[in-house]
């Protein structure tokens, strides 16, 4: 993972892939560009991304209006270096050699944008810490 050609890969998983994991993936992509391969998925994906989540992210200049919830696959887990779960329980497959983190965050499902903002801000803070750890900006 320390070679210049190897990009770390991160998979964010929540139940519906309509809120928390979408926000996390968007923040990581926004902050790292192409330095990190980013995926998100859900164990029981919704039909669409939560509109309050789309609105909350737009407030910080990140457009996720075209994102679509994706189903969690074994391949997505196998292809990721770090798997971050957000309330998907035991439905996430576990493979040796992967790093797993579980971020306990409130579920924004059914919440308005006022309730989503603090969840968004907590996710952003956690993503900034993750970036420093797995893909710090080059010091050139």
Residue 64, phi then psi, degrees to nearest 5:
-115, 20
Rounded to 5 degrees, what angle do the CA atoms 115, 68, 71 make? 100
Question: In the annotation, is 50 catalytic?
Answer: no
Catalytic residue among 88, 105, 116, 130: 88
Q: In Å, what is the CA distance from 93 to each residue of 41, 73, 76, 138?
A: 12, 9, 10, 33
Catalytic site includes residue 91: no
| Catalytic position from the list 23, 72, 86, 92 | 92
Is 88 one of the annotated active-site residues of the chain? yes
14, 26, 130, 134: which one is catalytic?
A: 14
Q: Give the residue numbers marked as catalytic.
A: 14, 88, 92
């Amino acid at each position: 993972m320390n070679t210049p050609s190897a990009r770390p890969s991160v998979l964010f998983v929540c139940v519906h892939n309509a809120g928390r994991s979408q926000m996390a993936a968007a923040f990581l992509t926004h902050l790292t560009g192409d330095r990190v391969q980013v995926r998100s998925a859900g164990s029981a994906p919704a039909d669409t991304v939560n509109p309050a989540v789309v609105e909350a992210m737009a407030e910080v200049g990140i457009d996720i209006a075209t994102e679509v919830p994706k189903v969690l696959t074994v391949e997505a887990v196998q292809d990721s270096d770090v798997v971050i779960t957000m309330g998907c329980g035991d439905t996430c497959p576990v493979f040796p050699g992967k790093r797993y983190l579980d971020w306990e965050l409130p579920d924004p499902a059914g919440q308005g944008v006022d309730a989503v903002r603090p969840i968004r801000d907590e996710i952003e803070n956690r993503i900034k810490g993750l970036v420093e750890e797995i893909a710090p900006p080059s010091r050139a």
